[in-house]
Chain A
């Protein structure tokens, strides 16, 4: 999703990027939520894949946030898991299926396009299309009205 097209100097600066790997058992502060420092590998293609997949999944412990956006500990660990699975050769579809198998359809932020779910995908489109048609008919009727009136009256039409 990220495009670097606009920042020319970005390309140069990126070459100086330093990354650390800190794979460790749960390192935790005063809070009860352990913060596992994520292991990062310098592989932008993989990272982009992780990001895209994590954006599709719902963070199970938050409301309405994706696994990618969520700062919670569980979401972080899910991102680590996603990265591992992708690295080990699984396709994004397989990783997605892994999560759906355990959490159910609920873990997907977009309803699947199948069966009854088609209602949520198609109804807005149908409504918009139908509405446009209705608007067109109404506007045309108004123009016909104007033409009919103009045919019966002289000069400029006034609405009182």
Chain B
């Protein structure tokens, strides 16, 4: 019964997607209301069927219905309820079902929100979304069907991957990432619609902004959350290993970030059209590519699910999307050309152009590094590895340049930066930077790259603060307001801009955290007997006891250590090793004591079976919390920026196809 319902939802969604997509594409001629409406309703219908399928699967998991193949694969009666529910995405078929539901959700959402607007674009948008949906429901109907009926019905199952059950955070990280990843299909659909209808001007740009910002926020949060989880949960003391699948989530983030900056230029100056189309196509392709990497088994990775038919299916879809998109771009290439008039190289347009380049170069570097093992094997027949040392080395110059731009970009006005204006904006930050540079050197920063990172961070922060301070000062002078209310009105009137600046500040904070934690990290492995103490990096730790325990889904061995700064032992920390019944390798859980200045990180490396000794890996990691705080600031800033995007779009909307910029406001603020 459950399987049958599942089958109905999957096949139904597939059928409706295909039909809807075909009808939708035929509705592209304006005035064809009937077909456009059908496509829209098909979108709602697919979402309804997708929700049915998802609900059926969740029910089957919770009810331990082992007659459904996916439940038989990942379910277990001994798994706690929370982990049973989230085992929906623990394995291949379930994760694709989840993916399918999210893409159906986005499709229905954009169809609904824009049901009365952008009448020329929406039929193509809906049709493209339906086509994308069709692919995923095809996967679910054929190679990745989670609803296959199992006979005879087993009494119990093996439970989900132990790594999933190690920490409740697994309930958050994949959904955040998926909502980000999958959501990038919507901007892509707009890009395709623009190319197909030929309306490559400001219309699709205006329409798409909030639909790229929302997934971007989820993707950013998901990536930072994943790094946090890697650090707090996996026990190796790091947060980013440049694993191919980590890279796969980072690559679309890079192009999406470039895109959401670059569309600002098209909005104001009707240029970078080709960049924007290519960036939005690249973002979607990279999300497909990332999924292909995890599910096809072509690269070895901690995340790799499984192989089989999935790989060729994905490859086929990627090939289709790639060829069709590029063909459309080639077809419309003449319409995409345009050059604005600038009065000075020192202008925001140049900064955005440079920004695009840096992000694309970064994307290319990470992509090349990720794919190089495969390329080398193809051309040399030898397997090579490309790991963190390569990526760290290659990304540092680009990252530094981006930190620089993070400050300089907002400070440059559109079109021309007059020398007086530039002097006014840059003088204080430059002086502050020089002073800071000397101070950093004086207190002992000897690594050039770390020093440079800090110096650029000061520079960028100074410039960004200037963008807040100077208009507030101008307001106070003009209106005599208090600084508080002046700040509120400046920020409130320009949420998009100031939200963006807050995001920039968050990114700078993250960069500082990353640089300092990498350079000043100290670590050692200490073996202790119970009662014995040791000192390291200003901390004292004493092994109190070593004991084993049992939880419903796992056994564990835990060490209790009293830890304190200096002589006084103030906290008890309990790193442990978890043993899952179906896995031969234990998974450690570290114990982390986070303070604003540094983290004290303990993981249980080894122990004697008779409890005589325990070996702990001790890491003192400065400034790590600032990475998470910075990520949080960036996310909040983005939420703030998006909070009135709708209002801005409303104000901007006019009957004309091309955007009309408002009168350029002279002075510091500039047009929003």
A interface residue numbers (CB < 8 A to B): 1-7, 9-10, 13-14, 16-22, 24, 27-33, 35-38, 40, 47, 51, 55-56, 58, 62-66, 69-72, 76, 104-111, 115-117, 119-120, 123-124, 127-128, 131-132, 134-135, 138-143, 145-150, 157-160
Across the A-B interface, give the 10 residue pairs with the lowest CB-CB distance, nearest first.
A35-B606, A5-B444, A109-B387, A146-B341, A64-B243, A124-B365, A142-B342, A16-B535, A18-B534, A13-B538
> Given contacts A55-B389, A63-B300, A116-B380, is CB(A142)–CB(B339) below 8 Å?
yes
Other contacts beyond A18-B526, A47-B524: 20, CB < 8 A: A6-B622, A17-B536, A27-B609, A31-B577, A35-B607, A38-B615, A40-B526, A76-B605, A105-B384, A105-B385, A124-B364, A127-B364, A128-B361, A135-B354, A139-B350, A142-B340, A145-B339, A147-B343, A148-B341, A150-B341
Q: In this assembly, does B315 line the interface, its C-beta being within 8 Å of a C-beta of chain A?
A: no
Q: In this assembly, does B406 line the interface, its C-beta being within 8 Å of a C-beta of chain A?
A: no
> Given contacts A13-B535, A138-B353, is CB(A64)–CB(B241) below 8 Å?
yes
Shortest C-beta distance, A55 to chain B (Å), equals 7
Q: In this assembly, does B379 line the interface, its C-beta being within 8 Å of a C-beta of chain A?
A: yes
B interface residue numbers (CB < 8 A to A): 235-238, 241-244, 268-270, 300-302, 304, 339-345, 349-350, 353-354, 357, 360-361, 364-365, 368-369, 372, 375-376, 379-380, 382-390, 393-394, 397-398, 415-416, 443-447, 519-529, 532-539, 548, 555, 557, 566, 577, 579, 584-586, 588, 603, 605-609, 613, 615, 617, 622, 658, 660-661, 664
- B364 and A37: CB pair below 8 A? no
CB neighbours (8 Å) of A158 from chain B are 664
- B387 and A64: CB pair below 8 A? yes
Shortest C-beta distance, A143 to chain B (Å), equals 5
Shortest C-beta distance, A105 to chain B (Å), equals 5
CB neighbours (8 Å) of B520 from chain A are 2-3, 5-6
CB neighbours (8 Å) of A157 from chain B are 341, 343
Shortest C-beta distance, A107 to chain B (Å), equals 7
- B615 and A17: CB pair below 8 A? no
Alpha-carbon distance between A66 and B387 when the two chains are bound, in angstroms: 8
CB neighbours (8 Å) of A139 from chain B are 342, 345, 349-350, 353
Alpha-carbon distance between A18 and B235 when the two chains are bound, in angstroms: 23
CB neighbours (8 Å) of B521 from chain A are 1-2
Contact among A21, A56, A128, A159 with B661 in the assembled complex (CB-CB below 8 Å): A159
Alpha-carbon distance between A127 and B353 when the two chains are bound, in angstroms: 15
Alpha-carbon distance between A40 and B375 when the two chains are bound, in angstroms: 41
- A37 and B384: CB pair below 8 A? no
- B361 and A131: CB pair below 8 A? yes
Shortest C-beta distance, B441 to chain A (Å), equals 11
Q: What are 19 inter-chain pairs, A to B, with CB distance below 8 A?
A: A6-B443, A10-B537, A18-B535, A20-B528, A30-B555, A35-B605, A35-B607, A40-B524, A105-B385, A106-B384, A107-B385, A109-B387, A111-B386, A116-B376, A124-B394, A132-B357, A138-B353, A150-B341, A159-B269
Alpha-carbon distance between A119 and B379 when the two chains are bound, in angstroms: 11
Contact among A5, A6, A55, A141 with B339 in the assembled complex (CB-CB below 8 Å): A141
- A71 and B357: CB pair below 8 A? no
CB neighbours (8 Å) of B532 from chain A are 18, 20
> Given contacts A18-B533, A64-B388, A104-B382, is CB(A37)–CB(B241) below 8 Å?
no
Alpha-carbon distance between A94 and B658 when the two chains are bound, in angstroms: 66
CB neighbours (8 Å) of B523 from chain A are 2, 51
- B603 and A71: CB pair below 8 A? yes
Alpha-carbon distance between A117 and B388 when the two chains are bound, in angstroms: 16
Query: Which residue of chain A lies nearest to B361 when distances are taken between CB atoms in the complex?
Result: A128
Shortest C-beta distance, B630 to chain A (Å), equals 20
CB neighbours (8 Å) of A36 from chain B are 606
